[in-house]
Amino acid sequence: MEKKNESNKTEIPICFIEPKGVYKYVQINYNNQIYIRGIKKCKYHKGIYHNFIKEIEKTGIQKPKTKCLGGGRIKFEPEEKNIFVYGYSNAYGRYEGQHEKTVEILKKFYPDFNITWSNEGY
């Protein structure tokens, strides 16, 4: 998930979601930057958030100041070039404008996709 930049420092990608399927996602604030993570193998939103913290700790930063802003689900259909963001997290909830911000970020990484959202569903 991480990559090196020109100065050989480890970067944390802004967006990482699984390439296909339906799964939970979280939106995280770290250093005043919003990060999106969607991981199939995590049964709970908290698992995705904890994976993100471990990702940062691998760079040498211990106990990073992060905040999980909310969560939901993503339905990723690569063949149809569709991504649907919806629902909420029982653990972290959903804040006003969360899915809109998630869609805004996803559009930067998937510019050819139809990306929509809804507050409906779980």
d(CA 103, CA 85): 7
The pLDDT of residue 14 is 97
For 25, the token pair is 């996602």
User: Which residues are part of the catalytic machinery?
Assistant: 45
The count of structural domains within the chain is 1
Q: Which pTM does this prediction carry?
A: 0.88
Give the pLDDT band (50/70/90) at residue 10: low
Distance (Å, rounded) from C-alpha 103 to C-alpha 34?
12
Evaluate if residue 21 carries a pLDDT over 60: yes
| Segment 46-84, tens digit of pLDDT | 999 999 999 999 999 888 899 999 999 999 999 999 999
Sheet with 15-17, strands from edge to edge, namely 15-17, 33-38, 21-30, 66-77, 82-86, 114-118
Confidence at 5, pLDDT banded by 50, 70, 90: very low
Which CATH number goes with the domain that contains 60? 3.50.20.20
**Owning domain of residue 39:** 3-118
